Chains A and B, each alone.
Chain A
């Protein structure tokens, strides 16, 4: 007799998402930018358009074959400040993009990277951080963690203020230094009135993982795009975390991401990469993405930061 027995609670099922070849982020604006008015917005969009066309041409050149599936997205910062209402900003933004021949497929709000649909995405990512070890780390000591901070190496050792024989200053060390260190210590969050406020690099790291389709909560996908509301709300919190603007758009998630950013975001993205390098990935999700990309003949780099590309734009 052949019998089988299964307890569903003991299983963890991993959900899949659909992928574009490339998810392109069209600039990132602070609320201050929106406050500067419609003309400023148009100027920014005008600046992006040629870089976008160049980037797509470069990608197509590198990956000849069928027309690539590319989706575009735009992230609005509503986390650190909320000033201009969506029913004012969104139409201006979409109009400016249309006038410049740019298509915005998805509109996301940054607060969605902190928490969305009852899932605290930033906390999921923070819970998976695996500090980069310096040589000699063998597990015998707990990892030196400063709550709310993540570095790319080893900090200057602490010295009690009243030390009798103060040692000479010891430099911090970048774990992967090439000859010399570029040590970076990133603040992941702070606390205000007992509430955790995530830092911009932390949310941007979540944003990259979200676009790469690598985040799961109990195996389930997080944040599926919802249609842009016909009647735009006056509060950002009433907007979907990721709104689909273009009903014909390629999938929101991409095997790779490209971010077209103004050069003021250079230090932020350095911090984002320090974080992303240290996120322990979900092995099963990684394997599934790699398998599907292989089947489509667009193999993805095995590490996450290898899937992320940038164009830093300078006003010149």
Chain B
């Protein structure tokens, strides 16, 4: 699979500007799917479900939608990173994985790492890497843009970093937790969002740029360029804000994909509206209220969502889908009313009326 470098990627001369801060690079992969539970999971159960690190809190918030984020689990890696030009560079360090539950229903497992391409020449003692979890250092020197493009271009190459496998293991483990009742509320496909972010290194303050690609039915590729990323008061780049943006895009892409697939299965021409409504009901129960694009995204990154809203217009497509769901329901109701008026009052012989 190959994706082109997005038009927004920084031109080469940016990295070479004297005095400019080094260009930061982070890569990741997010799985999105529905929790194997028949109803929305209450707050306390979510905290138990994604309590991954003892002594670290599960961070939960209520506005504008119930949201829970686990602490990060670290894993050690010493493997290759593909470059856009087809080369491979060795990199050593740790990757981080966390889980998020949105609306008590959607599960996201997300693995990521920052990459320092300056070249450590040799593998350092392991304590060097555990002192800074979530950072990989390349052994030979590499170019961040080259690594970013290479990561998206080569998926699941042997001997290369496999963040997806780590996310998938956590998703499986979470889904088999005894906290869940094991009942899948509706059929769906997991999606994989593979992403890269190049950030910083821009004194000019260009607007962020992003490129989103539907690679196939379940795989998406997102590349971000964020010249002026949000920072902490101390001046450190807030990678958590970039992660939040990626999870938010992955979530909404998954919800949109799942609802539109469901609508495609319901063939209105067939006329079996009872079946159509039965098919759409879980969508109404479980998914419709999840649509809140950009609600948790930092102001500095809001432009990315705004851009995607203009083209392709996620919310435009969402509104159309929701409209179709409601139309199906309205038609079904009309049909029911028509049936009722035909039979007039329920002709019950001493029985109860059930509606």
A residues lining the B interface (CB < 8 Å): 5, 7, 9-12, 119-120, 123-124, 126-128, 130-143, 175-176, 216-219, 276-281, 283, 286-287, 291, 302-306
Contacts and interface: CB of A to CB of B under 8 A. Distances in A.
A217 B53 CA distance: 11
Residues of B in contact with A, size category: 35 or more
B57 A142 contact: no
Contact of B78 (A126, A134, A218, A277): A134
A7 B162 contact: no
B76 A133 contact: yes
Interface stretch (B60-68, B142-150, B303-311, B341-349): B60-68
Given A11-B59, A176-B125, A281 B131 contact: yes
Contacts of B95: 139
A286 B130 CA distance: 11
20 contacts: A7-B62, A7-B63, A9-B59, A11-B59, A127-B53, A130-B76, A130-B130, A132-B76, A132-B126, A133-B77, A136-B79, A139-B79, A139-B111, A139-B161, A139-B162, A216-B55, A276-B127, A287-B234, A287-B236, A305-B125
B77 A219 contact: no
A218 to B, nearest CB: 5
A12 B57 contact: yes
A130 B128 contact: no
Contact of B131 (A119, A140, A141, A303): A303
Contact of A218 (B56, B63, B126): B56
Nearest to A218: B57
Interface string B111-151: 10000000000010111101111100000000000000000
Given A7-B63, A279-B130, A281-B130, A303 B125 contact: yes
B80 interface: yes
Nearest to B71: A12
B335 to A, nearest CB: 44
B166 interface: yes
Contacts of A127: 53-55
B45 interface: no
A277 B129 CA distance: 9
Interface string B222-259: 00000000000010100000000000000000000000
Contacts of A217: 55
Interface in B6-59: 53-57, 59
A280 B130 contact: yes
Contact of A123 (B54, B61, B131, B236): B54
Contacts of A130: 74-76, 94, 130, 133
Contact of A283 (B53, B132, B160): B132
B169 A305 contact: no
Interface of B: 53-57, 59-63, 67, 74-80, 90, 92, 94-95, 111, 123, 125-128, 130-134, 159-163, 165-166, 169, 234, 236
Nearest to B97: A139
Given A10-B61, A138-B160, A139-B166, A304 B77 contact: no
A119 B55 contact: yes
Nearest to B236: A287
Nearest to A12: B57
Given A130-B75, A139-B166, A219-B57, 4 more contacts: A10-B61, A10-B67, A138-B80, A303-B131
Contacts, number: 123
Contact of B55 (A218, A283, A287, A303): A218
A175 to B, nearest CB: 7
Contacts of B131: 281, 286, 302-304
Nearest to B163: A139
Contacts of A136: 78-79, 159
Nearest to A126: B54
Most interface-central of B53, B55, B61 (chain A CB within 10 A): B55
Contacts of B55: 119, 123-124, 127, 216-218
Contact of A277 (B74, B75, B126, B132): B126
Given A302-B131, A304-B127, A138 B61 contact: no
Contacts of A280: 74, 94, 130, 133
Contact of A138 (B56, B60, B134, B159): B159
B75 A143 contact: yes
A123 B74 CA distance: 16
Given A7-B63, A124-B54, A127-B53, A135 B78 contact: yes
A182 to B, nearest CB: 14
A142 B165 CA distance: 9
A219 B53 CA distance: 13
B170 to A, nearest CB: 10
* CB-CB nearest 3 A-B residue pairs: A138-B79, A303-B127, A10-B61
A233 B234 CA distance: 47
Nearest to A124: B55
Contact of A143 (B76, B128, B159): B76
A88 to B, nearest CB: 35
A191 B242 CA distance: 43
Contacts of A138: 77, 79-80, 159-162
Contact of B76 (A10, A128, A137): A137
Contacts of B63: 5, 7
A137 B54 contact: no
